[in-house]
């Protein structure tokens, strides 16, 4: 039986078996509601607070600064909308970039419909936003700057410390969406001057449906989900204890430096081999400024969707960008923002690794990929033209 090679870990990851084992008692033995005052409730509350402490430690925060949510989308919505409404007496201006995750973009667009003003910063050809551009965009009305830490499509890791210094200088709150970067690169809320940080579990071998929002002590946010005063009144709803326990265990396991080194090694091997195919370019930076598990390419003369379909037929799972946009026929706005043409963006393919990815799987992928690209170029009139051009280079 053929073993499927999963290279779509930017969309989601498998549950680590150790995480499954840690969660299991929460379904059958320690299943109480953390708000209940009896023994089962106290046990659940203890699991909740111990998990809160584990997550806080991984980003150099205090436990009381961690709010648990249903995932990255909710955390981003709570951070952006919550800060905007809680601080609108100061001003109604926010800043973000043109390469954010869709949930950030849509939150900002919704705020614009409510009378807020949003500035969308340009990025360079590798996806970086400059501190100078941020500083020029800040006005006396600016209350928040939000930027994705590790880009979900092209892997660009922003310099949070430099951007945070600008925000601190101008008394602007600083939020980062760290869903892709969390545990894959350094994240320290104090050294990077962060006021709010979005985290989630299912990108690091934890369960789906659970995330967290770091809110620096003293930062005012307005809750968007009202209920029984859970999470210190910031997010109503019974806490997902099994998910939270799994999240904490997954985060602790993922912090091991050996995992980052292994993913970086395989990422570079993948990139080096794929770039040997004529007419292929890498989208995003190389080296330590790129997420250790991310590779994004553009293939001249072929559609990324077609490559992904043939890879799937060969037992290799890939994507053409964010999973949230996978069914859209529009080219990636992230790739357009870094200067790619529509044709280059439509010819893109994202391959994302995990710590469970093996070298044999990378070898198999780089073996079948050139054959697929060559086949597609043979049957495409535009591909044939590209092949003629490349043969003369």
What does each of the 393 residues of the chain score in pLDDT, given as a tens digit?
A: 568 999 999 999 999 999 999 999 999 999 999 999 999 999 999 999 999 999 999 999 999 999 999 999 999 999 999 999 999 999 999 999 999 999 999 999 999 999 999 999 999 999 999 999 999 999 999 999 999 999 999 999 999 999 999 999 999 999 999 999 999 999 999 999 999 999 999 999 999 999 999 999 999 999 988 988 899 889 999 999 999 999 999 999 999 999 999 999 999 999 999 999 999 999 999 999 999 999 999 999 999 999 999 999 999 999 986 445 445 568 999 999 999 999 999 999 999 999 999 999 999 999 999 999 999 999 876 655 565 555 555
Helix/strand/coil for 243: helix
pLDDT for position 391: 58
Kindly state the tokens that stand for 104: 């950030």
pLDDT for position 390: 59
Q: Which of 115, 80, 74, 114 is nearest to 97 (CA)?
A: 80
Q: Which of 128, 127, 194, 126 is nearest to 159 (CA)?
A: 128
Q: Where in the chain is the domain with CATH 3.90.1150.10?
A: 5-13+256-391
pLDDT for position 229: 86
pLDDT for position 241: 97
Helix/strand/coil for 12: coil
Burial of 304 per CB tally in 10 Å (0-12, 13-18, 19+): buried
Q: Where in the chain is the domain with CATH 3.40.640.10?
A: 17-254
Distance separating alpha carbons of residues 273 and 246, to the nearest angstrom: 36
A 10 A CB-CB count for 106 gives 16
Query: Which residues, including other chains, have CB under 8 Å from residue 203's CB and lie 6 or more apart?
Result: 9, 10, 12, 13, 179, 180, 182
Report the top-level CATH class of 17-254.
alpha beta
Helix/strand/coil for 245: helix
pLDDT for position 328: 56
**Pairing state of beta strands 5-6 and 316-317?**
parallel
pLDDT for position 322: 47
pLDDT for position 323: 46
- CATH placement of domain 5-13+256-391: 3.90.1150.10
pLDDT for position 386: 60
Note the pTM of the prediction, 2 decimals.
0.94
Active site residues: 324
- Dihedral sign from CA coordinates of 84, 86, 89, 90: negative
């Amino acid at each position: 039986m053929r073993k499927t090679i999963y290279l779509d870990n930017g969309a989601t990851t498998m549950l680590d078996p150790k995480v499954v084992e840690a969660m299991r008692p929460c379904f059958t033995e320690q299943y109480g509601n953390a708000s209940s005052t009896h023994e089962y409730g106290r046990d659940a509350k203890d699991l909740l607070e111990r998990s809160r402490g584990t997550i806080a430690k991984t980003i150099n925060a205090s436990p009381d600064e961690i709010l648990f949510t249903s995932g990255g989308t909710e955390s981003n919505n709570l951070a952006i909308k919550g800060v905007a409404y809680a601080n609108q007496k100061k001003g109604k201006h926010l800043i973000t970039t043109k390469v954010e995750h869709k949930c950030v973009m849509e939150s900002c667009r919704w705020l614009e419909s409510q009378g807020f003003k949003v500035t969308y910063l340009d990025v360079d050809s590798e996806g970086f936003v400059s501190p100078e551009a941020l500083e020029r965009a800040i006005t006396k009305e600016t209350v928040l700057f939000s930027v994705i830490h590790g880009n979900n499509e092209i892997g660009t890791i922003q310099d949070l410390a430099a951007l945070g210094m600008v925000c601190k200088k101008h008394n602007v709150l600083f939020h980062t969406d760290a869903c892709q970067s969390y545990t894959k690169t350094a994240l320290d809320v104090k050294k990077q001057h962060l006021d709010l940080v979005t985290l989630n579990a299912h990108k690091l071998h934890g369960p789906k449906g659970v995330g967290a929002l770091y809110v620096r002590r003293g930062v005012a946010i307005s809750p968007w989900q009202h209920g029984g005063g859970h999470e210190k009144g910031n997010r109503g709803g019974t806490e997902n204890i099994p998910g939270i326990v799994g999240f904490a265990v997954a985060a602790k396991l993922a912090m091991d430096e050996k995992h980052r080194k292994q993913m970086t090694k395989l990422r570079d091997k993948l990139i080096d081999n794929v770039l040997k195919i004529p007419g292929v370019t890498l989208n995003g930076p190389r080296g330590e400024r790129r997420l250790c598990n991310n590779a994004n390419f553009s293939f001249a003369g072929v559609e990324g969707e077609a490559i992904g379909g043939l890879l799937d037929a060969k037992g290799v799972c890939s994507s053409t960008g964010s999973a949230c946009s996978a069914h859209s026929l529009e080219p990636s706005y992230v790739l357009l923002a870094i200067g790619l043409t529509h044709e280059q963006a439509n010819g893109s393919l994202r391959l994302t690794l995990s710590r469970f990815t093996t070298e044999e799987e990378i070898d198999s992928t780089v073996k079948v990929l050139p054959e697929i690209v060559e086949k597609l170029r043979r049957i495409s009139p535009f591909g044939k033209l590209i092949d003629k051009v490349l043969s003369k280079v």
